[in-house]
Amino acid sequence: MIDYSQFEQWVRDNVKVWQPCNIYPSASIGRNVSIGTFTEIGNNVVIGNNVRIGAMCFIPEGVVIEDDAWIGPRCTFTNDRFPPSPMEGWEPTIVKRGACLGAAVTVVCGVTIGEGALVGAGSVITKDVPAGQVWAGVPAIPIKEGKDEYSKTS
Amino acid sequence: MIDYSQFEQWVRDNVKVWQPCNIYPSASIGRNVSIGTFTEIGNNVVIGNNVRIGAMCFIPEGVVIEDDAWIGPRCTFTNDRFPPSPMEGWEPTIVKRGACLGAAVTVVCGVTIGEGALVGAGSVITKDVPAGQVWAGVPAIPIKEGKDEYSKTS
Amino acid sequence: MIDYSQFEQWVRDNVKVWQPCNIYPSASIGRNVSIGTFTEIGNNVVIGNNVRIGAMCFIPEGVVIEDDAWIGPRCTFTNDRFPPSPMEGWEPTIVKRGACLGAAVTVVCGVTIGEGALVGAGSVITKDVPAGQVWAGVPAIPIKEGKDEYSKTS
């Protein structure tokens, strides 16, 4: 599972990986990243700096998570909208800088979750979430705009 | 992961922990408890007696599960309503005596699930569930009251 | 966890089990099966040939998955509709040949998912899904019939 040759770099970059985890060696992990127990990060996944990945997340090939994003425990990403497709049919997913996904969110592939967006716990994301918006539900829809209310309650 | 010094006590208390699991040593586990594979139980979590925790559950700091509760596989608890908050902003969650959560339930923090309440599989709990009621959905709402029908069908 | 005496047969049958997994020795696994990391497959589960089981799936006793089915990551099956029941009250679940479950699907026990049916990511299945239909949501309902549109987009 773990490519132990990564350990030296992870220590240098302040990456914490709680074991057991399954991180493919071709995944790119930024600095100051924390990755929870029982998480799988697939081939060629890109994780930015200062990202927090919760426990039990599934992040397959095709997913990019930018700097400062926060991914709650048990989030599930996908790369195949109509499985099983050949790899050419897979679709990328991007979580932009500072976006925040609550616990147990499922993300159908091919979408972008905008900068600073928030997704409520247990939601299923099936389309793009614009920057700064708050979405929740199955499928998720906007529940309020902006972060003012968020700022007041957090 | 496992604090192996707990093993002696767990054997004495008839606690079964299916491996691999990630149980923080500061968690308090009652007697006659069963904990499924790939489950994480965080710092200072309190689990009562005769509790059954399914496989792949995520139970972070701030959660209390009282005696005789039944937690299905893949239930996800949280402690931070608007992540990422500093720890002072975390909210506690209580599962009262004999409550029963179906598989894959997500619990947004700050709620109490009442004594003997039932939560349907795949639900997302966002507010208090009164004792004895049956709730389901995303977000969960009451689907029938009392346990009469439940008693007839189980 | 793993019954290492199964390894010889698995190699012979081209079964790939990504570790760590928890597969009970009494489970029956077909040929050309792939089973993802952190998955649990319980007692007496029957998995057909050419089945793909994603990572982090929970498949307990009472589940039958026929040939050519595709089970996405983090799917949760159950066997007890009103837990905790004695084992006589458990209900079987069947996933028929070629059915496809998206990521993070939860299946309430006692149902049949028909041949070639498709279930959208994050859905909760509470009743039978007829062959060839596409269902999604919590609880899941039909979202389109037939596979024509599916065939065009995949």
What ipTM does this complex have?
Answer: 0.88
pLDDT of residue C149: 45
- Largest CA-CA distance found in chain C, in angstroms, rounded: 46
C40–B20 CB contact, under 8 Å: no
C56–A78 CB contact, under 8 Å: no
Token pair in block for residue B100 = 């029963």
> Sorting pLDDT into bands at 50, 70 and 90, what band is B6?
confident
Residues 30-69 of C with CB under 8 A from A: 36-38, 52, 54-56
Residues 88-117 of C with CB under 8 A from B: 89, 104, 106, 108
- For the stretch B95-137, pLDDT in tens is 999 999 999 999 999 999 999 999 999 999 999 999 999 999 9
pLDDT of residue B148: 45
Q: How far is CA A75 from CA A78, B56, B96, C59, in A?
A: 10, 13, 27, 19
Token pair in block for residue C129 = 């899904």
Pick the residue with more confidence: C71 or B19?
C71
> Sorting pLDDT into bands at 50, 70 and 90, what band is C79?
very high
> Alpha-carbon distance B114 to B69, whole Å?
10
Mean per-residue pLDDT, C91-116: 98
Which CATH superfamily, name and number, covers A6-153? Hexapeptide repeat proteins (2.160.10.10)
Range scoring the smallest mean pLDDT among A29-33, A59-63, B20-24, B146-150: B146-150
Question: How close C95 gets to chain A, by Cα (Å)?
Answer: 16
Ordered by start, the domain boundaries in chain B are 6-153
Written in H, E and C, the secondary structure of chain A is CCCCCHHHHHHHCCCEECCCCEECCCCEECCCCEECCCCEECCCCEECCCCEECCCCEECCCEEECCCCEECCCCEECCCCCCCCCHHHCCCEEECCCCEECCCCEECCCCEECCCCEECCCCEECCCECCCCEEEECCEEEEECCCHHHHHHC
- Amino acid identity, position C71: I
Q: Exposure string (b/e) for A93-109, b if CB count within 10 Å is 16 or more?
A: bbbbbbbbbbbbbbbbb
> Alpha-carbon distance C105 to C93, whole Å?
14
pLDDT of residue C4: 63
Q: How far is CA A138 from CA A119, B56, B124, C49, in A?
A: 11, 22, 10, 32
pLDDT of residue B154: 34
> Alpha-carbon distance A154 to A1, whole Å?
37
Please give chain A's pLDDT, 154 residues, in tens: 456 677 788 888 999 999 899 999 999 999 999 999 999 999 999 999 999 999 999 999 999 999 999 999 999 999 999 888 888 899 999 999 999 999 999 999 999 999 999 999 999 999 999 999 999 999 999 997 544 444 433 3
Nearest Cβ partner of B154 from C38, C76, C89? C89
> Sorting pLDDT into bands at 50, 70 and 90, what band is C11?
confident
Is C148 an interface residue toward A (CB < 8 Å)?
no
- Amino acid identity, position C89: G
* pLDDT of C150 higher than 60: no
B58–A103 CB contact, under 8 Å: yes
Mean per-residue pLDDT, B52-58: 97
* pLDDT of B52 higher than 60: yes
- For the stretch C20-41, pLDDT in tens is 999 999 999 999 999 999 999 9
Which residues sit opposite B71 in a β-bridge? B53, B101
Is C72 an interface residue toward A (CB < 8 Å)?
yes
> Alpha-carbon distance B129 to B111, whole Å?
8
Token pair in block for residue B17 = 């922990």
pLDDT of residue A102: 97
